[in-house]
Structure 1
């Protein structure tokens, strides 16, 4: 892995919308069923909104019913970093972009096979590149 992408808080705020900044840089979350990619069924690649790194592929996306875009695997194993998150009185596993440390969401062990994982990701932390037809 190369050096992480580092920017000042002012640079991130200038680049992102207030909602993207709150979620991706301050580990916030969007309300369920409100994110623009929750119901997206188009083929393509999901990228980190902060740095553009490909983090998920539509081939691994599924409807978990949770209200957030859900994936059973990342685009590649090195796209993400996992961290223990004890916030809000819960013990969860936070998902971050490996290139810039953006908060993407959390991963849970209640997903479909073959992984058994559910990467529950905020739409505000993602950009989407539709696959050409």
Structure 2
């Protein structure tokens, strides 16, 4: 039998990227509301201009709502006018997975949490300098961690904090 440290995959910023085992995933999914499940697990989208984090301007970190992995820094957030929180770059490029999305007759790039695989939003090449990218994210996919509070570094910690 392997120990968690033997199978853990760590990001360059020190966060555990190991996917949740089935029992932990089940607990994380069961903690989501119906609307959160629709977006995070079924690749849905919340209506524009209604998300609770759209107008948040506080310093901190935006983490995956399901597994708590940090995905975006507040300093990368900008007002895109699209109705969803938008960021110029991820917290750590290893924390997001980009996947070609051909749903709805369009070709887009979907953003998934690299640890739990939950749907976050889409990325577009029409953002401001210096990256020129717009990571367009559903508020409901995120949990905001204010500056001064430490994001959870491992999935075990995220699961323990949630239950």
Tell me the TM-score normalised to structure 1 length: 0.93
Counterpart of 1:3 in structure 2 is 18
Give 1 or 2: higher helix fraction: 2
**How far apart are 1:7 and its partner, in Å?**
3.9
Counterpart of 1:43 in structure 2 is 59
Cα deviation code 1:78-128 (max 9, x no counterpart): 010000000011000000000000100000000001100000000010000
* SS at 1:19 equivalent: helix
Counterpart of 2:101 in structure 1 is 85
Any residues of structure 2 matched to 1:113-124 within 5 Å, and which? 113-124=129-140
Structure 1 stretches of 4+ with a deviation exceeding 2 A read 6-13
Counterpart-to-counterpart distance in 2, 1:14 and 1:123: 19
**How far apart are 1:10 and its partner, in Å?**
5.5
Alpha-carbon spacing, 1:38–1:7, altered in 2? closer, same or farther (3 Å): farther
Counterpart of 1:130 in structure 2 is 146
**How far apart are 1:130 and its partner, in Å?**
1.1
Counterpart-to-counterpart distance in 2, 1:10 and 1:51: 11
Counterpart of 1:66 in structure 2 is 82
Cα deviation code 1:28-56 (max 9, x no counterpart): 00000000011111111000001000000
Backbone CA RMSD of aligned residues: 1.7
Tell me the TM-score normalised to structure 2 length: 0.77
Is the 8 Å Cα contact of residues 28 and 67 (structure 2) preserved in structure 1? no
Any residues of structure 2 matched to 1:13-24 within 5 Å, and which? 13-24=29-40
Task: Structure 2: give runs of 5+ residues left out of the alignment.
Answer: 1-8, 10-16, 149-163
* SS at 2:75 equivalent: helix
Task: Structure 1: give runs of 5+ residues left out of the alignment.
Answer: none
Q: Give the stretch that moved more between structures: 13-22 or 84-93.
A: 13-22
Alpha-carbon spacing, 1:10–1:4, altered in 2? closer, same or farther (3 Å): closer
Counterpart of 1:31 in structure 2 is 47
Cα deviation code 1:17-74 (max 9, x no counterpart): 1111100111000000000011111111000001000000000000000000000000
Computing the radius of gyration from Cα coordinates, the structure with the larger value is 2
